[in-house]
Amino acid sequence: MQLRPGSADAYRVYARAPIVGSIRIELVMPVMPSPNIYSPLRKYPFTRRHVNPLAQLWLLTCLGTWVLAANLSMAENIFEEPRLPGLVQAKQAITVFPSTTGQISRLAVSDGQHVSKHELLLQLDDSLGQAAVEAARLAASSTGQLRFAEAELQMAKESLARIESVGQHHAIAAREVDAARAAVEKASANLVVTREELALAQLRYQTEQVRLEQYAVTAPFAGQVTQVRVVEGQKVTEEAPLMMLVNLDTLTVELQVPLTALPYLHVNQICNLVPEAPMSGEITARLMAISPVLDAGTQTARCVLAIDNTDRRLPAGFLVNGPDWWYEPAKQPESDSASDHALSPAESISITHPFSPVVSWFSSLASLSNADPIYGSLAILSQH
């Protein structure tokens, strides 16, 4: 702000503000008949070349106050909360990996294709797996050993019965009786082992069947295939990513909500999110969860919102912000449908903005200066 001589009977005041821009005010000062004639109301003469320093100070103070009030007409919005955008993501999104090592014999899908749950994505060469299943099936269905063990036990029991029957009428050595009883016990144990081996063979058969199913890679849920990274004939390992599968029916976003807006929020509340470029308009979302743990560093709370996208009109991967009143305390609703479900006064969080006195001073300054820039400015200055 500068005070420069203008025309013969005027002074010009120049001021520049970041928002209003350059301002030039020309003040016409009366020229007295003689430089030696003093004003009856002033100690200093009012001449073209001599301006009272107090008048200059008063003029510059009023003009500066007016420029400041013009720049701060929306003082409540100066100290907005920092906006931390959230990334919109698909609720279900996975990278598909093979369950076993093998060579791709068939690629059943392409990039962008929609698939249903359990639909085939690709098939690995399973010739070795089929052979292993067949061998396990034959072993599990083989009952020859089991029948032989059962017959052996039956013969041992009959031999023991004959020896015990003959011994009642003739003298039979005790050693022969003991040998017959030992044969029965041995045949019985052999039958148990044979049955256990058959049960293990049946389990191996079931295991080989499950392993054979792993050669077919299917969709774990309905969705859209994207980023296909393999081709037919390619050999893959268990660590090699094949493709991505996403379900865009429901989108989710995590936002850091300022604590000043937290008392106005509740679970299942409908919120209008503001997307960043290249998206436009507003997006309706439902508040699903509010974290009970606050972030002391950013003075925010983590909130999870869900976006209904059954028509699949929205992609995933763009940024959104919450509504303006989350970040601008002046725009927070005094009475809103959310207030019915908000925290009670005893449970609500008391938050004082660090710049509240400054904002209040600027608000009163703007209101008075809009009515009368000069006298309103002097009134504010006299109060402080």
At 31-55, the pLDDT tens digits run: 444 444 444 444 444 444 455 667 6
d(Cα 301, Cα 352) in Å, to the nearest integer? 16
Residue-wise pLDDT for 333-367, tens only, equals 664 444 443 333 333 334 444 444 444 544 454 45
Pick the closest to residue 372 from 33, 66, 60, 50 (CA basis): 66
The predicted pLDDT at position 57 comes to 72
Residue-wise pLDDT for 309-326, tens only, equals 999 999 999 999 988 888
Q: Is the pTM of this model over 0.85?
A: no
The DSSP output letter for 52 is -
d(Cα 280, Cα 282) in Å, to the nearest integer? 7
Contacts of 127 (CB under 8 A, 6+ apart): none
Find residue 275's DSSP bridge partners.
320
